[in-house]
Structure 1
Amino acid sequence: MLKKIPFRRIRWPGWVVLAVIGISFIYGMAHLVEAIRFEPDSGNASPLTIDFKTETKNADTYTMSIKTPKMEDKSIKKPIQGWINNEKKAFLKKVKENKRQLGNGSRAHLVIQADSAKSTDDTFHILFHSYQLVDDVRGIEHVKTFTINAAEKKIVKLPDIMEINKEASNMIRNRLMGHPEPKVQKALQDPASWNWSLNETALTLYFNEIDESGPTELTIPIHAILPFLDEKIADSLEVAKASIEPGKYVALTFDDGPDPYVTPRILKVLKDHDVHATFFMLGSQAEKYPEVAKGVAEAGHEIGNHSDHHKDLTKISKEQMTKEVLASRQKIMSATGQLPSVLRPPYGAIDGEVERLAHDNGSSLVLWSVDSLDWKNKQVNAIHSTVEKEMTPGAIILLHDVHSTTADALPGLLTMLEKEGYEFLTVSQLQAKLAVEAASPFYGNMKKG
């Protein structure tokens, strides 16, 4: 089943800060204030046997613990050390600015952790997590990655191995849906500056600028980015390509129904094309038109829950939210004979309470990756154009079975996708087929849905 959260914020583990405080205490007891020492890290070796050293510093107003790789090549070492120095400089500047609040047991902390991982046959990544705590209870987090070509002894930028054209940029932007568009636009301006890592299953991007709560981590399955990768890089990821079954898969989803006029028309078109879809029903609509809802289930389509009255679940009380979801589930089950196991919150609005409610009731959260905008552009050609422009394998398409223009557009839409080689699945089938995070779990910031 789908876990529908497209991206996640990186949270620094509390034990790291506690460890730094503990180290500071030990140093303080030993009267090693202002001492700096370097020591090799013990424990498991990195995946590429890269050695790391840890610099620790304990002062009256701050502590530092900085892990760095031991690199001999100056062309690689210089930019890495330069970034670390900038983090230290910014931290110490804040310490100075807040010196009146620090000291006498109150200290600021800088922790930089690092790890390495193999990417392709010739490249590996070093991933840094920087955490600064000075005058903010939450602290400030940064992520920085360096991808290194071991054979050529140089740092590789993402545009060196991947074409970031308009199609690729749109695909990434869609996956960041729900974040402030101006910040997303700014973050995507310079692909050469992106923090990224690549392995046989996915491309992961890290954006520090989008969310004030911390870095945004975005994982894109390998099948979605293979068309944009350099041929040599793609060839080095044979394991990933071999794991993807032939064919291009897509899931059609319909929201806000059932409708006594539009839903039957859509069912007929789907039957004519031998396509199964997922219908996210409103409980109030299923209760009002039970025969139509039953017809959807009898046609073999997947039934999902879209709440009872299409309220933003994040803007009502916990009791109201629970009632919206559970009452809808009961009404849908009564009408269709099926207990919906997938939940699409109205407007794509999700928070921790919504996640917990879904989990506690055995439902997976499902959003979308391609918004047809049928609720906005009620024109057949506009719907076709929007979907065609945003389509990628593994996508979930958002449609609504309450607009007559959607029913008008559906035959041509299915024909267009069939000609492009797409096969149609329900959202649950899509996840089972791909067995990776599909191009579906996205927050929506639309006014419909």
Structure 2
Amino acid sequence: MLKKIPFRRIRWPGWVVLIVIGFSFIYGMAQLVEAIRFDPDSEASSSPRIDFKTESTDTDTYTMSIETPVMEDPQINKPLNDWIKEEKEDFLKRVKENNKELGDGYRAHLIIQADSRQSTDDTYSFLFHSYQLVNDVRGKEHVKTFTLDGTEKKFIKLPDIMTTNDEMIQTIRTRLQGQPNAKIQEALKDPASWNWTLNGKALTLYFNEIEEAGPTRVEVPIHAILHYLHDKTADDLEVAEASIGMEEKYVALTFDDGPDPHVTPRILNVLKEHDVQATFFMLGSQAEKYPAVAKSVAESGHEIGNHTDHHKDLTKIGREQMVQEVLSSRQKIMATTNEIPVMLRPPYGEINRDVETVANDNGTSLVLWSVDSLDWKNKNAAAITSVVQKEIAPGAIILLHDVHSTTADALPTLLTTLEKEGYRFLTVSQLQSKLAAETASPFYGNMKKG
């Protein structure tokens, strides 16, 4: 079920910008690097060291790219490794069953992405996103989560930290309106089996059984379930919630229409110098044309989204062609980056009901923007910085393009200027997670480029 989550811009005269988002694995899926560790200076001394290793397999009939968390305690590693082993065995079984259809350029794919983060002082969440494409168009997607009690060094279920009575379950059910009731009943009957993560802002649930398109993501604000949490967990989360600092000036940089062999590498260098991670909405045709550049974006740790295959206005083409634009681009981006683009930015920001349906059917979130740099129009470095500086506010999503040399020219000054004004940069998924606001009527803005 596609949800529309707008952002409130904290700026006079104040206007609300729409970000249409439904299914998403964006919380944490953005920054997938080979070594992710908790900072020992900022976490408790009991924090486990968590590394990630990547296994890649490339054969004539299938490819596999699997990220695995690795910790010093083998007993903690075992449940994670066992689940990954099951995924691999299931995938290889399907490959064997469809062996006649594979080969001659058509291969099956298994991609498992992993992330980890600290939930409270003593608990840590592991989030796995598995995508299998064997002999179908859409592929098979699902999410698996594990939550570790760092003190006890054991994995816990949701009923271990909160009361999961009928009243609490009804709170979840109300957020699944519009879904088939029978499937909801089945999905909700065993809270101990739920896939979940928890932080100071929300309880996030992932139900794999409700929609054929992929997992259904439900986010419940922390204030709505705080009284169900056991005392210690509630106390830890209240501290975490207080420390979030909602007045902090977070924004997201986004780049459309690439990758470009000349401009994109320049932009990556500037982002690296400033230690900034951004979101790149790629055209599938460009990713296919410049695979090495596309791969370098992913290897630099940036988030990757889908901007369709050939930058056509989706609202002006037929449903079948619309699906082709989205899925073909997705396949090309996956092939070159080994990343699953779970966000879609429609060209020109044009959206209608069919676009929303196609995005929903393919487990993709629709993402727009709130600040248009006008780099596509002005093509002047000073003007780009001036426009962004004038329009920016905390929570902004900034539209840029990694196909104009003037954008690369402007970026060093733009970043330096915004940093001096106290802004910090996140990927779109990180910003959505941090600033998912309860706002009123959505507003699209003047979105004629992108």
**TM-score, with structure 2 as normaliser:** 0.47
| Rg larger for | 1
The alignment's TM-score, normalised by the length of structure 1, stands at 0.47
Higher relative contact order (CA 8 A, sep 6+): 2
